[in-house]
Structure 1
């Protein structure tokens, strides 16, 4: 499809930063070498590596036909989204994740996923190495919004500060719609009749106001007044996609995961900013992991936004048969899990006070970092990090790194690979329900997941 003059000028207005001459030469030489099937000369590669840092040197080169799409994962953790794409959906992507936790990065790397261990807010979303990025996946920390935290993200003042900062993003990116028409030309470019000699005619005018001049650090500073700095990290959900678009990257879609308590005001303002930049589709939905075959409860809100089309999020994925914790871990029926040690017994019920146990014959409670204290009541056997990972949808052999405390915290914070696959199946063009059922059947050794009479692929 041919682009309109307006679209062409949008691309001219929003272009990736010009490559320095030495880097441009290195890109040219490396591209020729790659097309010829030869290795990139070491001296050329060194130039690319220095210019792309901390991103892969190869990301400065344009993808060749058949190459997988490039995906940036922010707050990527130990690999939930990565496993959902690779292990559940079976889709190959060229992805790099960023996370501030050394242990989470070590886990992801041990599992074969690339990671940059860094504070996301210190990285430039318009870096020249991101010039060919197609998608962004973002999972900001949720303690400020979740019941397990202090709920500071639900305080009215914090919501107001964050929403006000969100509203500056499209302006900073140059996507603030305006009733005025801003020309790209000076007065001398027009003849006596007011006509422009530009080949695009009326199409040379932009529907957006010029970029405000605010840096991304300036935009982040607008949210500095929140009581918990983690609240302000929600800004990255819209900063990175719009910054990449403004810089000329072929960004197509973004996906986000956050606590189900995320205020509707924040979701609405995120959607407004995407619509300002002409993203065709934005949708959010709260999903409970236990409703999709996982043996642990975890309710989260997921958002998908796309520039050029409306992907299906969960329309092709129906709720799946429940999986019991005992079934997933290979325990006998009737087991109970103690979560808080020995506590006083309520004489009326005969059970410990304080809600410190639950039946393993259904999905487990939502895992937290304190799940490391869980033990089987029948013999006192403690839950292992491997079993915790299994409960949230990772294979038993997943290589959790760090201390026991760290491993359990990673499993508690991570996006389940199953939920990642469900959310991304639309934008990945995968038959999500069939793939998710197959993955769950193998993970929990449940043939009935595939042979149930009510199984029918939704198309």
Structure 2
């Protein structure tokens, strides 16, 4: 079977979902077993392999190459040892551009770092009509370097940073993107949504999609996230709150530790339900916590005040005549997998495979389909009128 594109480091299928919306067929290469099972269950073909050693010849003639190499060595959420490897990765790009694919003889601080250069080999060997790469913002200088190589091979190239919320994803994830084509001019995908807090309502177009809109939450619910890492606390403060009137923060592999809350704390940054989420990350344990807070403050008799806190999986405290004075107070529940997936613009019933840690990491690692679709539309030259509803 022929495909419109190969998807390197394909994971659970973010790019594949985006391609499907555009009527493009893909086959993914991925080494992670759970992610491969998830993708196949969703109808996305997989070859389980090491992309760095797998031969390119079987894919001769494929029109497109998509790549999202591992981000952990580069991401601010990880140990960032890959930053020490950055000069070597740039050297490897030049090596591969010249036909030398040896990376094993190079000293790596993080043994995953070389993967960021591997897409160079695949484009060199296959010379596809188009290519699309995505990574964390810190990888943008590398994409610019690879872009200069591709221009030397006759490609038109655009590189830059894109915010997922600008394309209808209920999350403020920012990613570095490379789009290249040797058969057409390419440019930044035209945003379809805008930040009403920055530009005001009434601007031509559509306001950012909020957590409330994406998840069907009621007004007033708050998304709270807390980083327990001492380094994060020292640099950014102990707690970040977002009400559901905003996009979600970046969804991470630790999103199952986040909890949904009602109400906000004084030392927090707040996003309402009518705003998108922040970026969903895949990061080390303990980084983030979200909470749904419920419960009651109850007045019992003249001057007597007692406080009851009940989570939503328990009955309410005794209902008395002055129940109207009860207020929402601290109770909580975790964000579930379907909610994290929806904030990442996957269908709520996407068939994730694996344990809790694995499935949330798959969500956090994925390219949001809602961001991938406009990138692929530009790269593959798919007319805007041909784009399908991402919710379909």
TM over 0.5, yes or no? yes
> Is 2:244 the counterpart of 1:360?
yes
- Evaluate the alpha carbon distance shift between residue 334 and residue 406 of structure 1 in structure 2; reply closer, same or farther with a 3 A threshold: same
Please name the residue that 2:28 is paired with: 97
Q: Which has the higher strand share?
A: 2
User: 5 Å matches for 1:156-305?
Assistant: 158-172=85-99, 214=100, 216=101, 218=102, 220-221=103-104, 224-245=106-127, 251-264=128-141, 266-279=142-155, 281-305=156-180
Aligned to 1:74: 8
Matched residues in 2 for 1:318 and 1:243: separation?
37
Report the number of matched residues.
306
Deviation of the 1:341 alpha carbon: 9.9
Contact 2:9 2:69 in 1 (8 A): yes
Kept after mapping to 1: 8 A contact 2:133/2:177: yes
> Which residue does 2:342 correspond to in 1?
390
Q: Is the 8 A contact 1:254 1:306 kept in 2?
A: yes
Query: Which residue number in structure 2 is paired with residue 314 of structure 1?
Result: 189
Show the counterpart of 1:111: 42
CA RMSD of aligned residues (A): 2.4
The question of whether the paired residues in 1 share the 8 Å contact of 2:36 and 2:48 is answered with yes
Deviation at 1:270, TM superposition (A): 0.8
Q: Give 1:201's aligned residue.
A: none
Match of 2:357 in 1: 405
Paired residues of 1:375 and 1:382 also in contact (CA < 8 A): yes
Question: Is the Cα contact below 8 Å between 2:193 and 2:208 reproduced in 1?
Answer: no
Cα distance, 1:307 vs. partner? Answer: 1.7
- 3-state DSSP class of the match of 1:310? coil
Separation of aligned partners in 1, 2:184 and 2:169: 30
Could you tell me which of 124, 134, 139 is aligned with 2:55?
A: 124
The 3-state SS of whatever aligns with 2:185 is coil
Unpaired stretches in structure 2, ≥5 consecutive residues? 195-205, 229-236, 261-291, 294-311, 313-331
C-alpha displacement of 1:433: 7.9
Return the alpha-carbon distance in structure 1 between the equivalents of residues 24 and 150 of structure 2. 27
Distance in 2 separating the partners of 1:92 and 1:170: 28
Q: Deviations over 1:34-69 (max 9, x none)?
A: xxxxxxxxxxxxxxxxxxxxxxxx45xxxxxxxxx5
Pick one of 210, 217, 222 that aligns with 1:331: 217
Structure showing the higher helix proportion among its residues: 1
